[in-house]
Amino acid sequence: MTRGSANLGKKAWTLAVEIRQSRRIPPIFRIPSTAIAEYASSATSYRSLRCPPAQDRLGGDKRRHLFQGESALSILQEIQKWSQGLPGWQQHAITQLYAKGELDDNDYEDLYALLKAEHGIPDPKNRVAAKLEAAQVAAPQASNRRVQLDGIKNLFNVNALAENQDLSISPTGLTIIYGPNGAGKSGYSRVLKKACRARDQREPILSNAKEAAGKKTPAQATFDLLIDGMPLQVTWTNGQEAPEQLSALSIFDSHCARAYVDNQGDFAYSPYGIDILEGLVSACGKLRAMCGKDLAAATPNTEPFANLSKSSTAVGKLLSTLSYRTRIEEVEALASLSEAENERLAILTKTLAEADPKQKAQNLRNRAIRIAGLVQRVGVAIAMVDEAKVRALKEHVENARATKAAAELAANTFKETPGLLPGTGGEAWKSLFEAARTFATESHPPKIFPHLGAESSCPLCQNPLGAYGAAKLLAFDAFIQQAAEKAARTARQNAIAAYREIEEATLDLRVDQPLFQELEESLATSGEACRALQEALIARRSAVLGATKADGDWLAVPALPNDPREILAAIQTRFVTEAQALEQSGDAKTRLQLASEHAELDARQKLADMKASVIGAIGKFTLSKRLQACSTATATMGISRKATDLAKTMATPEVARVLNEELRSLDVHELQVVMKNASPQGRTQFKLALELPGGGSPEAILSEGEQRAIAIAAFLTEVGLGGGSGGIIFDDPVSSLDHRRRWHVARRLAIEATRRQVIVFTHDIYFLCILEQEADSAGASYLAQCIRKGQAGFGVPTDRLPFDTLSTSKRVKALRVMHEAVAKAHKANDEDEARRLTRDAYYHLRLAWERGVEEVLFQGVVTRFGEGISTQMLRYVVVEDDDYTIVHAGMSKSSKFAHDPATAAQLPTPHPDELRGDIEGLETWRDSIEKRKKAIEARRS
């Protein structure tokens, strides 16, 4: 095939894409995606036949897949699957490392809390471990499935991107998407990273700030795909699982590869994904150090109870074996002494300290007897004026008063009997009559008063009674014996008896000074309590007796203070118990038993005083045990083993060969990959040894741009050997690269575009231009798109590329569009706008003449910023005198209006027709050169 044929194929493809993109053609006349895909597929096959040298140099069909099988797993997929069986804190670490690449202080704080919680150390914040879900990682791809991106559209709520835009993408070859800074290119890039499950998703997709709070909807986008040539449309929604098909597209991001200085001073290389395991190993080391620091602070302090732990008591045995296994309940039980046990300890302390226990025991028993007597006296005294006695007296008095009233009523009736002396029936009379009754027992035996008979003498006047007197005695007795009078008499007698009992009661407790002193020594305030009771008893009796009077007040009777008998009985019991203990201590064997009992109780009392320290020590023992478990859990053997297993898929001579080829293709010739399958401290790596004469420090040799080139080489190696055939996407791949290496990257991507779909986002016009040139050289079709800010918002796609990127013929087309704007302003009589647009058009016309000299007259032999000189193109080049005249005239006139010197202000603005003539003059000259070069080539052949 000739170059002309190749160019014709490229033009056909470009035309097909332009037709498909056109909004002015009705849908029924547009070329369907499947037809374009079929053409693109055939074009790709055609290109692959014409570029065998490039393919052989970069591996081509000789490349062997790293992963075999219809749905092989990548390293990231293997790590995600493996992570599901790890502890929660390690899963959280892997998730953060996947998302961020590195862990910060907050991450380590969370990890440490999760690690401790997993080993029984509560987390106050109740943090929950994140898990790396399968939906976050690119899904396993079938090696025989081809996934191509055909377009992105219907973007909604993505940053400030305009909605309902349609970004067309060539399903084969190279798609270059240019956008200046601030045009919205990064919005598309962020969507692709999230939708295609790239690792680098640190830049968030913000919702539209103009949308009302609380009503914000998640970002969305629709993707047109070709799956093995068949169209498929999928929708991605931010926050939901991305469509599996999109994960077949590989995105070059900041995590693709990492070059670093290793412990030997050489640069080492981590395959894509292995850095997660390296980061996990590093995290384990830092967490282990954190455990060590906390372990040092958690060392229990057993010094306060060191001596007590040496005793042979139960407490000593507990403390000598104190550990995290010690139950706090055991400590609580031993440290809790009952009141009886405390008293027993006091008794034993005194007993064992006594020199003459028998004499002391006798004294105590005597004291107990005296206390017993006091207890008895207190009981008797209290019983005499207790509530029952007072209540009974009150009842008797009140009953006596009531019955007396009833008797007086009956007496009044009796007194009204005719013939009776005044006062008959009264108290004096009753006393006289009762006296007669008493005297009759002596004066008239065996007769019973009042039945003395008429013949008897009166016991009072001693005159014969006669029948009348005998009858009067019987009547008087009947009055006395009637119910009211009898009840009154009985009630009075009961009241007097109750009164006398309280009045004559012995309330003296006999608490003399010696007994008082004894009580105070035995129990403080006990003596005072007895004296107070003594006074209260007397006061209470006085108040009770006073209450029996007609004007007495029972409510004024004071209550007795607390009964001291319980306290006194306890003192008595203690005296007896102490006496018994003293009596027992006289026996040597018993004394040993008492000493042992005392030691046990004394140790328990001491334990009670330091219980908080002991429980705190158990807590630290437990914490230390759990921290030790945490430290043990940070062992990296399993991680290293997994890293080694994964690295076996990468540590092969084939990988080294392909990676070295990729490095050379990117002009990184000073590096030679040496494969070393090793895992120092869990870090599985390929070493990139710098083989330079004279040595040198690696960090002083590799620039940032070289390290980025290494990353690109690694990405292309892993994608190429991974077995998939999906498209690859680059977001500003030449950032930090010098202009020379940009050419190498552009050439490499152009070659890759002959095998698979390649999509490049860039803000670099120069890189866009050299990508187009290298695509031409490699025979790869390409589609150039531009993203700009429009009235609808940011990220509006257009096929109108920046003027600087256009060829001379396309610049002529752009100048014609500018002329139309000038003519429109002129027709509207807007002179200022017409003048501004005219000068702008002449400025761009001047640029077009410059490009014409480079591209048309000299046929691209020498290009600005070009890497080399195309000497073969000299076969087309001839510079005639007319060329000089025409170019000089065109440049001179354009410069006259493109610049703005002081004198130019007086120049009249050219008419739109004059501007059109100057534009067409450039096109006429360009066309003449194109026609002339064929004759020149034929002549020089």
End residue of a domain, out of 472, 503, 534: 503
Shared domain check, 938 and 838: yes
Torsional sign, CA 306, 312, 318, 323:
positive
Q: Are 781 and 13 in contact (CB under 8 A)?
A: yes
Q: Are 207 and 217 in contact (CB under 8 A)?
A: yes
pLDDT tens-digit profile of 233-258? 999 998 888 898 888 888 887 666 55
Rounded mean pLDDT, 764-778:
85
In 592-654, the DSSP E strands lie at: none
Q: Phi and psi (nearest 5°) for 731?
A: -110, 105
How many domains does the chain divide into? 3
End residue of a domain, out of 447, 469, 503: 503
- Considering the domain boundaries, does residue 716 fall inside one? no
Q: Which residue has the higher pLDDT, 556 or 432?
A: 556
Shared domain check, 849 and 824: yes
Residue 398's pLDDT band, with cuts at 50, 70 and 90, is: confident
Shared domain check, 456 and 427: yes
Instruction: Please tell me the distance from the alpha carbon of residue 77 to that of residue 724, in angstroms, as a whole number.
Output: 14
Please measure the distance between the N-terminal and C-terminal CA atoms of the chain and give it in whole angstroms.
Answer: 18
- Considering the domain boundaries, does residue 535 fall inside one? yes
Residue 632's pLDDT band, with cuts at 50, 70 and 90, is: very high
H helical segments located in 504-587: 513-522, 526-547, 565-585
Q: Are 359 and 491 in contact (CB under 8 A)?
A: no
Shared domain check, 368 and 406: no
879 has pLDDT over 70: yes
Residue with tokens 């009150």: 394
Beta sheet of 782-790, edge-to-edge order:
250-252, 728-731, 758-762, 174-178, 782-790, 793-798
Phi-psi region of 235 (alpha: psi -120 to 50; beta: other; left: phi over 0): beta
Q: What is the pLDDT of residue 52?
A: 33
Residue 27's pLDDT band, with cuts at 50, 70 and 90, is: very low
Shared domain check, 518 and 410: no
Q: Are 38 and 68 in contact (CB under 8 A)?
A: no
Which pair of structure tokens corresponds to residue 715?
């990405």
pLDDT tens-digit profile of 567-591? 888 888 888 887 787 777 767 677 7
Residue with tokens 């469509």: 243
Shared domain check, 455 and 547: no
Shared domain check, 486 and 367: no
Instruction: Please tell me the distance from the alpha carbon of residue 582 to that of residue 387, in angstroms, as a whole number.
Output: 42
Which pair of structure tokens corresponds to residue 772?
């187009």
- Considering the domain boundaries, does residue 371 fall inside one? yes
pLDDT tens-digit profile of 266-322? 556 666 777 888 889 999 999 999 999 999 999 898 888 888 888 899 998 999 999
Residue 156's pLDDT band, with cuts at 50, 70 and 90, is: confident
Q: Which residue has the higher pLDDT, 703 or 531?
A: 531
Shared domain check, 463 and 398: yes
Report residue 781 CA to chain centroid gap: 51
Shared domain check, 533 and 411: no
From 100-104, 214-218, 277-281, the region with the lowest mean pLDDT: 214-218
- Considering the domain boundaries, does residue 134 fall inside one? no
223 has pLDDT over 90: yes
pLDDT tens-digit profile of 714-725? 888 888 877 778
Please choose, from the candidates 418, 448, 103, 64, the residue with its C-alpha nearest in 3D space to the C-alpha of residue 276: 103
Shared domain check, 511 and 428: no
- Considering the domain boundaries, does residue 832 fall inside one? yes
- Considering the domain boundaries, does residue 666 fall inside one? no
Mapped onto helix, strand or coil, the DSSP state of residue 790 is strand
- Expressed as residue numbers, the domain containing 436 is 392-503
Residue 761: its H or E element: strand 758-762
Q: pTM (2 decimals)?
A: 0.59
- Considering the domain boundaries, does residue 532 fall inside one? yes
Rounded mean pLDDT, 157-184:
85
Shared domain check, 396 and 380: no
Q: What is the pLDDT of residue 105?
A: 94
677 has pLDDT over 80: no
- Considering the domain boundaries, does residue 358 fall inside one? yes
Question: Which DSSP string corresponds to 252-318?
Answer: E-TTS-EEEE-TTSSEEEEPTTHHHHHHHHHHHHHHHHHHHHHHHHT----GGGHHHHTSSSHHHHH
Q: What is the pLDDT of residue 150?
A: 92
Shared domain check, 531 and 470: no
Which pair of structure tokens corresponds to residue 927?
């066309």
End residue of a domain, out of 503, 529, 545: 503
Report the chain's mean pLDDT, rounded to a whole number: 78
Strand partners, 796: 788
Strand 258-261 and strand 267-270: the pairing is antiparallel
pLDDT tens-digit profile of 590-613? 777 878 888 889 899 988 999 999
Instruction: Please tell me the distance from the alpha carbon of residue 76 to that of residue 277, in angstroms, as a whole number.
Output: 10
- How many percent of the chain have pLDDT more than 70? 80
pLDDT tens-digit profile of 403-438? 777 666 566 656 666 777 777 777 777 777 778 888
